[in-house]
Structure 1
């Protein structure tokens, strides 16, 4: 064996549990949502997405393509409400959901109308995602610098500008041991259908979002979701850890089928209720946030909840997240003389002319 050269760091290969297509599919929104419907945000799903719309998302220039498909509507409870499950169900049953009258075999304009209908139904604002990913890498292009959408145009602009969306469409199974590679930019979802998920927009406090890591069926680590300092979290640390652990043991552990996975939650500190936001693969494609994957993979027992402890905490990210994804292909190909405002204005104009 050759000795390690002096001053040269040893390269450590991380060994993750095998990742299969079935495990990825379990993290797809419509796979887990029915089981956690009472513990997540109110949502509507357009499924399946028209093939033409999928091509639109993958195309370089097309902004408006007709298609067809059915729509599926799913309900969830308001995470900021003090209503009981029964009260929420009774109130929901009493509402007249005008969206239900929409017909099948939609064209692209009807897809736009369905999105508008859902936005109205969900009190005027939503945030979008596909089966797995939200276009958070494209939030920089929206007027609010968030994923908040109040019109179909907002939804289309975010989805069209996101590399994460392209990953969902073309590379969802890329790291799976049972994946069969396909040509570049060819949709590869396989047995699953593409779906557009529209979730009701809430002004959730980012300090109360947490990422939870489950290894071999046991909760092994919890991390603050956003790497920023929030002074009040220190005094809530023990309570937050207890609330999340109780939620995992009572609601998640026996209901999510995989043994290795990651899930994101929001904690309402007033009601002490924990809300599921998403499920992700237990793999390097999922960000470990304040941990290193090596810590999680080698841990023999549960690690303490990890928080940013001060404004000088070295765990605070010094670079903008997703900075390598900040420019869609159309913008890269444009002359640098055209500003971001011009790009957004041009996109809006083309959209309105359709």
Structure 2
């Protein structure tokens, strides 16, 4: 016990020999760990949609690119395929509120089928769901968006689109908020606005009777691959060939449009950890050079090479741990 306490006392004395150097080195290590944590959180956030995807939910997009449309007529044809339980569709709005900087995740959907497929993700009182379904100009907004702009049920809000234009030349759709939903599961953001596809489709000047992607659920997740192949085979010779993927695979492909985020995070994190090694090693090398004479005295007093090495290693670990903590 006495030897251990003496060793700890010696380690602390060496660390605090130059308090400014100790503080700056610990701060540099802290920055490296902080960068690592931020990058890991960023990657986890981007992949949250894929990690939380439902096993029985698949997404159909245009084979060329998910930004290309699909005929709305595909919805009924897909519903008739064996093994398919429910089908819905969604179109990206490119929406914003009042000014382009007030961007909002917005989708034009078929309300009834969409709310059935995504019932686990969208927590909504039945009366609000019914009001949204019945009102052609109704809107369903997440509570995060509602809080951000101070919206309440019954409010009339003008939502603009940077993609779609109306026949009258404007790009504004006036919507009535009929429901404010909460996230049905943890780690899912309630930050999306939904409107009726029919309301969008009847007023826009281009891409009428086309939708963005088609979502559907299956009776048995074990049959996902077979059903996906059956769908893609049915439309492979059409002008709008499809690519059917699980929701997880689709969400990951969406993130990959930004680049190989995993490789970027791994590279930067690796550089941060390497920086920690260099900083700690350089600091300890400088400290040992300053104490060459003292180490010689320790050996004369009976400290063998292993003990000296153990003390230096413990000092290095204490320095790195202080910054990491």
**TM bracket (short chain):** under 0.3
Larger Rg: 2
Q: Which has the higher strand share?
A: 2
- Give me the TM-score of the superposition, normalised by structure 2: 0.22
Higher relative contact order (CA 8 A, sep 6+): 2
Q: Which has the higher helix share?
A: 2
- Give me the TM-score of the superposition, normalised by structure 1: 0.21
